[in-house]
Structure 1
Amino acid sequence: MDWTPWTDWTAAPDAWLGRLVLQRGLALVYLVAFLCAVREFRVLAGERGLTPAPAFLRAVDFRRAPSLFHWRYSDRLLAGTAWLGAALAAAVAAGAADALPLAASMALWAALWALYLSIVNIGQTWYAFGWESLLLEAGFLAVFLGNDSVAPPSVGLLLVVWLVFRVELGAGLIKWRGDRCWRRLTCLYHHHETQPMPGPLSWFFHRLPGPLHRAEAAANHVAQMIVPFGLLLPQPVATWCALVVIVTQLWLVASGNFAWLNWLTMILALAAVDGALAARHLPLLPDPPPHQPAAPAWFTALLLAAAALVAFLSHRPVRNLLSPRQQMNRTYDPLHLVNSYGAFGTVTRQRHEIVLEGTDDPDPQAPPERWRAYEFHGKPGDPGRLPRQFAPFHLRLDWQMWFAALTPRTPRPWLRTLVTRLLAGDPATLRLLRVNPFPDHPPTWIRARLYRYRFTTLAELRATHTWWHRTDLGDHLPPRPHDG
């Protein structure tokens, strides 16, 4: 059994392929993340956003939320930062980092990390997702993976594997310790229907027979609580375990929309893949670089310093993994360097949806047929519309609408502001929605209605041609007038 790359901590020449795909894939995820900021940030957290960043910046200091925007914030500067990050990410994905000297390549990765950190740290609730920290932690580690001018460093790859280990094991343990339906293997009776943003295949996953749901849950436990330890074992075990991680993540991609979480986890798992083994079994791969010398001493020193920092900062995530009161998606430092991860420690049994509806009728007690719904791109609305696939793109407003529905009798402050923007007919806000039912002028009244959603049965689907059945539960926000 081959113990490389872990026993040769200086360089892993056969890992060139894994590093190549890992870095190019990570750059593509950065590209998606920056484009999401271009599309959404102004409306969500801009100067007139639902939770304005300038007010947040006045309330926190640089040490609590390091960001370039502490020196100055404007929507134009934010857009410029996001477009710059997108351009740099696209360049790296196209191979720019490998064409530069080693020091310049490291600076390029560090710039991506710093630019996105500056956005995340002022994004407030809209950027409080575990995959934001995962992208930042992965971006920090990418600084120390080198480029084509040096052989892939084993220590750098091992740091990435350590990240994947924590992502997978954290997700597995939080389920096992959390909702007892995971231990009973029954959570997937509900999860595909109640997950934040179902995909086009979620209805079909939900309608799988009960025994298959139980097998699905059991396989998830194996993949997330046993297989991660194999990532740290010698080759070829590490490679086969990485493939299990990738297949598991592809299953999650098929069953729902989780932004770039699954895609990024698959990309990072490539750090454990034996490049030579992959080259022997996969056709049409590029030829390895002709010469990859050992890294210079200064690079090795920086790499070992980064490894020591990660080792030191790992004590809190490890304690969290071992704790019976494990927390999900916890960040321990404002730089998001070493974090805790996890998802769905609790599975909701019923799906509530908040539907924003407007009317031109002067009477707020107008009959239901006089109210028209604003439709979102990702969250369920029209019962006859099949859910779409948006991941790895992140629809933050749609996700937060799901969280808002978890407290059906306690409206979020930002939701009231969203209604105000819609009553004013704000063009930027309306661009985040799929359907504006009042294209010529704002409505007279807007309300937020609460509905109970469930997937239709096969018989109902055939009879009604709708994917969802919904029940009206009353107002989440009572009607507000145009001049309110």
Structure 2
Amino acid sequence: MLGLKSGLIKIRGDKCWRDLSCMDYHYETQPVPNPMSYYLHRSPWWFHRFETLSNHFIELIMPFFTFMGRRMCLISGAIQILFQVVLIISGNLSFLNWLTIVPSLACFDDASLAFMFWSSGGAKKTVLKIQEETTAGHTPEPTKGMLIRRVVNISLGILIGFLSVPVVMNLISSRQVMNTSFDPLRIVNTYGAFGSITKERTEVIIQGTVASDPKDPSAVWEEYQFFCKPGDLYRRPCVISPYHYRLDWLMWFAAFQTYEQNEWVIHLAGRLLSNDSTVLSLMDHNPFEGRANPRWVRGEHYIYKFSRPRSTSAAQGKWWIRKRIGPYFPPVDLEGLRGYFQSRNWPHPHVPGHRS
């Protein structure tokens, strides 16, 4: 069901999924690329088309194999797990792919997994014997505990079935939405990934300066570095899956929107101006560590692209090349942010040794 939801949202979403060109962009523009993303991005065009077709087959066709008998169910489970492993290798998609592997394990029955629990009596033979007896109708009289468990299982199935009605209606709707919860308990939800693909990677680079005048051409602006999101052109993309750097992920979303749509970015700037240790613990490099706090912080907007192998940039050790778009948010200081924070009922950042 997870794969089917993702497959449908793709077919109904970005046209690049229909013209098979989405993988031309995905590796470079996904939230947090890893080192393999760099090399996979440079694959031939025909390989990217093959990847997209394979994605459609696995997400739109393979889920139905689950209901086509034991052998087809086993094949479906194996392919789904292999697909998730490929996604893990090709990008840092957090714990998403690891969680998706879990329901795929249900495709494997006891007989197929018996080799993992081999015993002197032969676990596989025992399982097969039980299955043969069940098929022949030779089942033991259910105990009280078995009956209670059966009632609980049926009740839970009815509850999930009832709560899943809006999810299924959304699934078959031409106006399908993704990543939405339909009940207050959040037991069932609709899911979908990468219904649209960004064609250019934009990044917000946060910079600070100790200069008194941010408009002074001689002001030196120094960059903050996040743990994993692209910033330093010479830093190799990281490997973190299944770990999840939430701030890095949120910065990816902020980069293709505006700071007005992501006011938390200004809140982040205020915390950096006050050298807030909690916020700085979420970042890899603070250029003002052990020095005076920055007087101004700004956000700059850049287009990032992977450098080309064997190019001059790559020879210099650059994994990325970038081009400035313009300002993302203007230079701000603590005093200038006071009214902004008050209007939103945010506590004003406090600088140790000063009154705020």
Distance 2:38 2:218 in 1: 27
Number of the residue aligned with 2:111: 276
Q: Which has the larger radius of gyration?
A: 2
Could you tell me the percent identity over the aligned residues?
39
- Among residues 275, 278, 282, which one is paired with 1:428 in the alignment? 278
Please give the residue correspondences for 1:270-419 in structure 2 after superposition, counting only pairs within 5 Å. Answer: 270-280=105-115, 285=117, 287=119, 295-367=145-217, 370-408=220-258, 410=260, 412-419=262-269
- Is residue 212 from structure 1 mapped to residue 62 from structure 2 by the alignment? no
1:478 to 330, 337, 341: 330
State how far apart, in whole Å, the 2-side matches of 1:362 and 1:204 are: 44
Alignment of 1:177-256 (within 5 A): 177-256=12-91
Cα–Cα, structure 1 residues 471 and 260, in superposed 2: closer, same or farther, change >3 Å? Answer: same
**Secondary structure at 2:190 match in 1:** coil
How far is 1:167 from its partner?
0.6
Amino acid across the alignment from 1:247: L
Aligned partner letter, 1:344: F
Instruction: Report if aligned partners of 2:33, 2:92 keep a CA contact under 8 Å in 1.
Output: yes
Query: Could you tell me whether the CA contact under 8 Å between 2:182 and 2:189 is conserved in 1?
Result: yes
Cα displacement string for residues 199-226 of structure 1 (whole angstroms, at most 9, x for unaligned residues): 1211111111110000000000000000
**Deviation of the 1:315 alpha carbon:** 1.3
Work out whether 1:175 is the aligned partner of 2:10: yes
SS of the residue corresponding to residue 357 of structure 1 reads strand
Measure the CA separation in 1 of the matches of 2:193 and 2:28: 16
Name the CA distance, whole Å, in 1 between partners of 2:110 and 2:218: 61
The one-letter amino acid of 2:286's match is N
CA apart distance, 1:253 = 0.6
Give yes or no for contact 1:191–1:347 (8 Å, CA) kept in 2: yes
Per-residue displacement from partner, 1:379-405 (whole Å, max 9, x unpaired)?
111111111111211211111111111
Query: Does the C-alpha gap of structure 1 residues 409 and 438 become closer, same or farther in structure 2, counting only changes over 3 Å?
Result: closer
Does residue 464 (structure 1) correspond to residue 316 (structure 2)? The answer is: yes
Point out where structure 1 has 5 or more consecutive residues left out of the alignment.
1-165
1:180-201 residue CA offsets vs partner (Å, 9 max, x unmatched): 1111110010111111111121
The yes-or-no answer on 1:451 pairing with 2:302 is yes
SS at match of 1:407: coil
CA distance in 2, matches of 1:179, 1:368: 45
Contact 2:27–2:90 (CA under 8 A) maintained in structure 1: yes
Give distance in 2, aligned partners of 1:298 and 1:187. Answer: 50
* Change in CA separation of 1:230 and 1:182 when aligned onto 2, cut-off 3 Å: same
Say which SS state the counterpart of residue 189 (structure 2) adopts. coil
- 3-state SS of paired residue (1:378): coil
Q: Kindly provide the CA deviation profile for residues 111-155 of structure 1, in whole angstroms up to 9, marking residues without a partner as x.
A: xxxxxxxxxxxxxxxxxxxxxxxxxxxxxxxxxxxxxxxxxxxxx
Q: Which amino acid aligns with 1:435?
A: H
Partners of 2:225 and 2:231 within 8 A in 1: yes
Q: Deviations over 1:220-272 (max 9, x none)?
A: 00000000111223212111100110011111111111111100111220011
Q: Distance in 1 between matches of 2:166 and 2:202?
A: 35
The residue type equivalent to 1:448 in the other structure is G
TM-score normalised per structure 1: 0.62
Conserved? CA contact 2:259–2:265, under 8 Å: no
3-state SS of 2:17 partner: helix
Distance in 1 (alpha carbons) for counterparts of 2:26 and 2:323: 19
Cα offset for 1:299? 2.0
How far residue 369 of structure 1 moved from its aligned partner, in angstroms, is 7.8
Helix, strand or coil: the match of 1:471? strand
Secondary structure, in 3 states, of the residue corresponding to 2:40?
helix
**Change in 2 beyond 3 A, CA 1:249/1:474:** same
- CA contact under 8 A between 2:270 and 2:333: conserved in structure 1? no
Q: Work out the CA distance in 2 between the residues paired with 1:409 and 1:368.
A: 26
Greater Cα offset, 360-369 or 461-470: 360-369
Q: Which amino acid aligns with 2:231?
A: G
Q: Within 1, Cα distance between the matches of 2:74 and 2:14?
A: 31
Tell me the SS of whatever aligns to 1:383: coil
Give the alignment's TM-score, normalised by structure 2: 0.84
- Tell me the distance in 2 between the aligned counterparts of 1:414 and 1:439: 23
Residue 408 of structure 1 contacts residue 450 of structure 1 at CA under 8 Å; is this kept in 2? no
Q: 1:483 to 1:167 in 2, by over 3 A?
A: same
Matched letter for residue 404 of structure 1: A
360-369 or 260-269, which moves further after superposition? 360-369
Residue correspondences, number: 316
SS of 1:399's partner is helix
The 1-side partners of 2:21 and 2:177 are apart by 22
Q: Is the 8 A contact 1:422 1:429 kept in 2?
A: yes
CA deviations 1:398-428 (Å, max 9, x no partner) are 1111111111464511111111111111111
- In structure 2, what is the Cα distance between the partners aligned to 1:430 and 1:175? 37
Distance 1:333 1:235 in 2: 33
Q: If each structure's strand is expressed as a fraction of its own residues, which one has the higher value?
A: 2
| Change beyond 3 A, Cα 1:394–1:434 | same
